Amino acid sequence: MHKITARTYPSTMSLRCFEASARFLSFTKAAQVLHMTQSAVSKQVAHLEDNLNTCLFERTLKGLALTPTGKLFLQQTQLILNKIEISVLNILAYGSEAEAVNIAAHPTLCARWLIQILKGFGQQHPQIHLDIQEQITSTEIENQQTDIAFLYGEGIWRDMTSVKLFEERCVAVCSPELIPQAFSHLEDFCCHVLIQSRSRPRAWDEYFQSQGFINEQPFIGPRFDTFYSCINAAITGCGIALIPKFLVEKELDSGELILAWSYEMNSHNAYYMTYPTSMAKIPKVATVVHWIQNHLHSTPTPPTHSASL
């Protein structure tokens, strides 16, 4: 096995040169992005390969191609460089005395639940800054690019600790201007536009099937990326939306929305707070996790503990 010493650890510059070259499969384009000469980039990559005692690229007449080892190393390199960038940005944004916790949550869950849960956190823990992003990808979860994520699923993610927050029940809602009162028969749905969520393409099928109803009509209606947009579309009278009940409790109470049908569909999955098991004892992460757990039942949630994003 090739022995790793302090002198053979890759430099940040060599990693940047490799990552850019791998991304563009070109030393020339990498040099342009890094504001270096092509020969300097090539030498950095060659030095990296020499230190690792392996080939990361195949040099062919057609250009560069990553070797299997190069493809694997690229994933890890991008993760490392991303963490360095985040650390630098955190220090620039918050100062050296502060600690940042990266949190990921889907937009609607963030706006309608998480913000309420986190109310007061900054006053009690001014040394911890919360950096919240409203987009989550499976790659980010698998690569542990977030400290804490709020996810909908079965609660099983590799190398992650999951804390169940609540289950989910979905209801069909619409504007009272669309229909004056709830339907009397399931068949009534067939005469209306059904608003759809891109993240739950089979939601309406599952809703009808769970009641033993077969809807032979095609679902015709607008499709949105988030439940937030589905809710707004329903309020404006665009159609009927199938929404996790806790997300529309406020609108149902105010009368902006009504139940088109009284049935509540239990979802198979639930909502979880997840974080890398390796980070469980890191003080800043533990502080946020404990805050969420302690305040979970102090914010408005459905009596049935249902929720969604």
Of 73, 90, 107, the one marking the end of a domain is: 90
The verdict on 73 and 114 lying in the same domain is: no
Of 90, 109, 135, the one marking the end of a domain is: 90
**Residue 273 placed within a domain:** yes
Q: What is the average pLDDT score of the chain?
A: 87
243 confidence band (pLDDT: 50, 70, 90)? very high
- Higher-confidence residue: 74 or 136? 74
CA 87 to chain centre: 20
The verdict on 170 and 230 lying in the same domain is: yes
Of 36, 62, 90, the one marking the end of a domain is: 90
302 confidence band (pLDDT: 50, 70, 90)? very low
Question: Per-residue pLDDT averaged across 271-277, rounded?
Answer: 93
pLDDT at 303: 39
The DSSP bridge partners found for residue 101 are 130
**Residue 7 placed within a domain:** no
The verdict on 153 and 64 lying in the same domain is: no
User: CA-CA distance, 84 to 15, in Å (whole number)?
Assistant: 12
CA distances for 9 relative to 13, 19, 50, 68, 164, angstroms: 12, 16, 11, 21, 41
User: CA-CA distance, 299 to 226, in Å (whole number)?
Assistant: 22
The verdict on 225 and 260 lying in the same domain is: yes
The verdict on 23 and 158 lying in the same domain is: no
**Residue 6 placed within a domain:** no
The total number of structural domains in the chain stands at 2
Domain residue limits at 247: 98-309
- For 284-299, how does the pLDDT look when each residue is reduced to its tens digit (9 = 90+)? 999 999 999 998 866 5
pLDDT at 4: 53
User: CA-CA distance, 298 to 187, in Å (whole number)?
Assistant: 40
Residue 220: both structure tokens together: 């015709």
308 confidence band (pLDDT: 50, 70, 90)? very low
Query: Does pLDDT of 241 surpass 90?
Result: yes
Question: Per-residue pLDDT averaged across 114-120, rounded?
Answer: 93
**Residue 3 placed within a domain:** no
Question: Per-residue pLDDT averaged across 137-158, rounded?
Answer: 79
The verdict on 234 and 161 lying in the same domain is: yes
The verdict on 142 and 196 lying in the same domain is: yes
User: CA-CA distance, 104 to 134, in Å (whole number)?
Assistant: 6
The verdict on 85 and 104 lying in the same domain is: no
The verdict on 140 and 232 lying in the same domain is: yes
Query: In which region does residue 187 sit, left (phi positive, over 0), alpha (psi from -120 to 50) or beta (all else)?
Result: alpha
Query: Does pLDDT of 28 surpass 90?
Result: yes
Question: Per-residue pLDDT averaged across 39-46, rounded?
Answer: 96
Question: Per-residue pLDDT averaged across 101-121, rounded?
Answer: 92
Report phi then psi at 99, rounded to 5. -120, 140
